[in-house]
Structures are given as structure tokens and as C-alpha cells.
Amino acid sequence: MATPSDSIDTKLSWRRYADGDHEWKALTQKIFVQDTTYKCPTYVHKTPPCQGSCPSGEDIRGWLAVVRQQELPPAGVAWQEYAFRRSTDANPFPSMMGRVCPAPCQDGCNRNEVEDFVGINSVEQFIGDTAIANGYGFVAGPDTGKRVAIVGGGPAGLAAAYQLRRKGHACTVFEANSGLGGMFKFGIPGYRVPRDKLDAEIQRIIDMGVEVKLNTRVGTDVTVESLEQDYDAVLWALGCQAGRGLPVPGWAGTPNCVSGVAFLKAFNEGRMKVTTDKVVCVGGGDTSIDVVSVSRRLGHIKTIRPNDLPETVVHDGYVAHDSAVTAAAEGAEVTLTSLFTRDKMMAAEHEVHDALYEGVTILDGVMPLEVIKGDDGRATGLRVADCTMADGRPTKVEGTERVLPADLIVSAIGQGGDLTGLEALDNGRGLINADKFYQIPDRPGHFVAGDIIRPHLLTTAIGQASVAADSIDAYVRHAEHKRRPKVDVHHFSVLEKMQEANLAPDAFDAKAGDQRGTSDGNWAIHNYEDRSGAEVIAHEELFLGHFKFHARNLRKEEVPSAEEVLGHFKERVIGLTEAEAKDEAKRCMSCGMCFECDNCVIFCPQTAVYRVDKKERTTGRYVATDYAKCIGCHICADVCPTGYIKMGLGE
């Protein structure tokens, strides 16, 4: 869990051992100490917890090392572009995800054990915005002659198109809406996702040679059979843009009861420009926060024609408010209810804080009971009660019932897929089943990624798209699926790094005889072990005493107050400067990978650990050991801040 900023102790006194600790507590440690005379250091690469927590599997440690200037780019490549290339190996939307991702990577960051997590998403936003400003693009791979149909132009579909074009496969994206972007464009307000930045990141993918067919719904406009005939594989990335209604009496058929997804789509398409006097939203996740924040910004007008009621605009995709109505807009009274207490709400904590500051009333620990309707059949209020949660189910607290007045009730309690015309794919829950390779079971050539499997985070959809692209690549090449690693992320490869630096090992000469037990040959990366596919490194393996207090570089925010929020649609988050991004990246502890601090070289009493010759140095090959001098004292492992050195050689 992230460390609260107001409780950080700036006078750090971390110690590996307390006074009086002179005996090993565990039998395995006692055995280890007794055997140190023959154990020498091995350099072991593991996955850092930030990357292990990232559903996209980004090489976070890697691109932070580039931004901090510790890992240098290839000759002729600017570090800004190199950081962009490393970041987008897994995720082609750094500018967007740096803004809206709830950043599970930061909760997993080992720096929380020192003072506070690294601001990973703030550095990612800097990388993405810099790439757009500098016009960095993507390059497609050599043409393979294979064609893939991608149904859905949201985050999953676009990320899959990007990965497939890198592999050289032709892609056609079929999108039912009038524009690409999916939930990026139609589900998140522009003040959180600036449209110029979003459009730039989408266009960069299209420029790789992706064909796009808008306003085309597969299942009605195009048949599944035609896709199977014309393409070598089909990826279903439909997303979930059908909202769920409240499961309470009075909801069904009531005109001014709408879903959060439909509400936001009407706003993001520019059709809904005002809302109502009293808005009640039921939810607790990020979608509900967007609904109430938008409602406060739009406000309401006192006199509105029946055909211009907000629910009419939401329900009818062709109706739009006249821009003139916004001139008379007044503030709306907006309430958000959540089954869960505030500390357990799914929405990001800072988003909840911002909503409160903007004048939203939040009632937590409250359950909806019934929609109250007037004589005209429209909702006039929502009956609610306090509740307790047990096993995920709410129980009403007797005597707490009351009615919340409402002119518009919005349900943001989840969403599902719309599989009209695609009923054969429906698993019975409005979703599509997937196996571990993101294939649709019993449908060869059909793959799936994103919310249509199970609604989750944008970064989850992007990560699934990457795995699905690998599976599609194997399928169209008639190759066997590679076994997915236990820690399934975009791993750093020291071999690829050495190849990039023209330091790749020589080809192995099988005729040279038995060469086991020697380090003279340059046909292998000696005394290096890659466990990143199997292990995530915990903070207990690091030497935390190495790290001094280093305050986080916080992004500035322009959050309007309750009095200022009406009509405020400027972006709230102000990105880091280059100097701030570099400084923030320096806070990364490089868990599981050498970051060239020289501790092992300085503290080795036998001068056995030494720096690799400058001409042969790369990330992961900064130090080596002269095993003729090493006595197995394990001091180098004790003082290694990143846990990269293990006393394993000799076992």
C-alpha cells in the first residue's frame, strides 16, 4: 500500500540488523553462513514489483533508468526517444496512461518501504508528451502477407494492431462508432484525456499502415463468415459499452434513469451540454467519479424543452443540445452513493478527493432500494438506506431509509458487452470466453482481448492485446504457442542489450571440445542468471539502508473549487518538467537489476569484484568477479542496494 505523504519520516534510520543481533534466526541462514567459504557472487536479474504489478507488463525499471540517464541510448538516438521506445514496447499510449491509469505499479513499488513510491505515471506522461512534441513514430515490421481483422477500435484493438504491425501482419480495424478510441474517447472526459494527445497517439498507430473501417458493426453490417473468409485471424476487442441498470424496483423503463456509460458517451460526443438540477449517481468506481464531475461542470438550466431533456440526448444518439443553452447554465446539485465506505471505494483516492473539492456530495456505505416516480412516470427520487457489507453483499441498516431527490439517476455499477448479431460468441453473461493464450475456445483463428473478457482497467486490456498478438502471430505462422512465463511481462534482455551495443557473444564452436567450467570463452554471458520470468524481487532482498530520503516530484493540479467548477473543462494535471522527470526517475531503486552504484566494488575486501572494461559495459554487465580472489565473504551481496548479487556460485 502506498505510504501517505503526511506520515513520511524524513529522518530515516533503516538498519539491516538491530543492536544485539549476533545470531542467525533461521536454520537456512545458519547453514548459508557456514558454507560461505565456497559460495561466490552470481548476478541475478529478477522482475521488479512495479512491473510485476503492471497489467501491461511495461519495463518500468528500464525506461526510468533511461530517463535518469543511467542507461544510455544507442549511438545517434536521443535519450527521450529511447525512453519512448522502451516504454512503448509494451504500451503504445504513454501520454494517455500516464494520465488516467490508477497505477497499481505504484502500490507495488518497493520504494514504499523507504518513504514513498516513485511517481511512475508522472514520468510516463512526460515520456508520452515529449514523444508527441518531437513527432516520434512507430515502424512496421517486414510484410508477412498475413491479414488480421480486429473488431473494435478501443485500447485493446489499437494496442493489438500496433503489436501485429510490428510483426509485419496487415490489420483492418472495424469500429462501430464514428471514431477510434473506445473508452479512451467515449468513456473518459476530455479534461482527463486531452483529445489532441489522444488523437496523436492513435494516429501514430494508424500511420503504421492500419486500415480502418468506421461506422461498421460486425454482426450486422459485416458478417462473421466474411471475416473468416477474408482474413487469416480475427481478434474480438469489442469492449463493454453497455451499462448495467440498478437492480431495484422502478428502474426499468423509467426515462430519466440512464447508465453511466451512456451518459459519458453523450457528453464526450459533444451532444449533451447541460444536465439537471439534481443528479444522483450510484457507483463508487472511476466511471461514477467521471459522471459526477461532468455533471458539476455542465450544470443545468431552469427552463428546458421536453425534447432537450438530458435523458433524451443520452437515449437518442442523434439528438444534441444547442450550444446556446450553456450560457444560462447554473450549478447542479450532484450526489454520489456507494455501497462501500470511502476507504474501500474502487475509484482512485485522489479522484474522490477532487470530486469532493468540486462540490460533489458523497454518501458512502449506502445502498439503493427503489426508484420513486411521479405521475408522469419520471423519477423524482431514489430511496436509499445505510448498509453493511458481508461477502460482497449489502445488508440494509434498519431505520436509515430516506429519499434522495433526483431529476436524473445514473447507474455506474458496471458494464457489459453488446453482442447483438454475435450471439454465438456470447458466454451467457454478455462476454466472450478466452483461454490462457486469449484464444476463443473451440473457435480456431478467433482471439479476444479487453473488457469483453471481463471489464477491468485500460492497462489490463492493453496487456491482454499484447499476449493475443503473440498468439495470433504463432497461429498465422502455424507455429506452436510459446509457454507463457510465470511472470508474464515485457522482460529486459541482457543479450538484446549487448547486441544493441555490438557486444553480442561469439557463436559457440561445438568442435572446440568440452568448455564447461571455463569463463575464457566469449560464447556465453558468464555468471549471469535471468530469473525474471519466474520471480518478482521483494524489498527484503534489497539493501534499503543505501537509499536516502528523496521527496517525490508531485505533478501540479488545477482542480476547480465548488464555486469555479461550472464550465471548467481545462486539463487538471500539469505534467513534470524535464528536470523534474529526471529527478523523479532517480528515485527508482532499480530492484533486481544493477544500477551501477559501485558498492560491491568499493566494499569488496579482496578486490575480487571489479568494473567491466568500459568498452564491454552494458546495463546488467557493469561489474564482474575475479573468482581466483573471491573468498565467499558475501559482503558484496549485503551492500547491493538492488538485490542483484546473490551468493549462489558453487551450489
pLDDT per residue as tens digits for the range 231-258:
999 999 999 988 899 999 999 999 999 9
pLDDT for 392 equals 83
pLDDT-based confidence at residue 43 (cuts at 50, 70, 90): very high
3: in domain: no
pTM score, two decimals?
A: 0.91
* CATH code for the domain in which residue 280 is found: 3.50.50.60
**CA angle centred on 79, ends 77 and 84, rounded to 5°:** 95
Contact (CB, 8 A) for 394 and 339: yes
Q: What percent of the chain has pLDDT over 70?
A: 94
Residues 372 and 274 in one domain: yes
User: Is the pLDDT reported for residue 641 higher than 70?
Assistant: yes
Residues 191 and 317 in one domain: no
**Which domain does 457 fall in, by range?**
147-241+417-476
Residues 57 and 115 in one domain: yes
Q: Find the helix or strand (DSSP H, E) in which 355 lies.
A: helix 349-357
Query: Residue for cell digits 444536465?
Result: 275
Name the more confident of 633 and 547.
547
Residues 451 and 369 in one domain: no
pLDDT for 141 equals 97
Q: State the amino acid at position 93 in one-letter form.
A: F
- Other C-beta atoms closer than 10 Å to the C-beta of 400 total 13
Residues 182 and 217 in one domain: yes
* 554-567 pLDDT tens trace: 999 999 999 999 99
15: in domain: no
Residues 107 and 34 in one domain: yes
pLDDT-based confidence at residue 651 (cuts at 50, 70, 90): low
* Separation in Å, CA 565 to CA 33, 294, 558: 63, 9, 11
Contact (CB, 8 A) for 63 and 105: no
Domain boundary among 414, 440, 464: 414
Q: State the amino acid at position 465 in one-letter form.
A: A
Domain boundary among 414, 445, 465: 414
484: in domain: no
User: Is the pLDDT reported for residue 5 higher than 60?
Assistant: no
307: in domain: yes
Residues 67 and 88 in one domain: yes
> What is the average pLDDT value for the chain, to the nearest integer?
92
In the beta sheet, which residues pair with residue 573?
557
Contact (CB, 8 A) for 384 and 402: yes
Query: Residue for cell digits 504500451?
Result: 91
Name the more confident of 648 and 115.
115
Q: How many domains does the chain have?
A: 3
Domain boundary among 379, 398, 414: 414
* 159-184 pLDDT tens trace: 999 999 999 999 999 999 999 999 99
Q: Can you read off the three cell numbers belonging to residue 551?
A: 521527496
352: in domain: yes
* 375-431 pLDDT tens trace: 999 999 999 999 999 888 999 999 999 999 999 999 999 988 999 999 999 999 999
pLDDT-based confidence at residue 325 (cuts at 50, 70, 90): confident
Residues 404 and 261 in one domain: yes
* Range of 26-40, 75-89, 305-319, 513-527 with top mean pLDDT: 75-89
285 vs 54: CA distance, rounded Å: 19
Residues 130 and 51 in one domain: yes
Residues 234 and 249 in one domain: no
Q: Can you read off the three cell numbers belonging to residue 539?
A: 524489498
7: in domain: no
309: in domain: yes
Reference 560, options 187, 299, 286, 197; nearest CA is: 299
Q: Can you read off the three cell numbers belonging to residue 505?
A: 557473444
Residues 404 and 441 in one domain: no
19: in domain: no
Residues 446 and 514 in one domain: no
Reference 467, options 435, 432, 433, 437; nearest CA is: 437
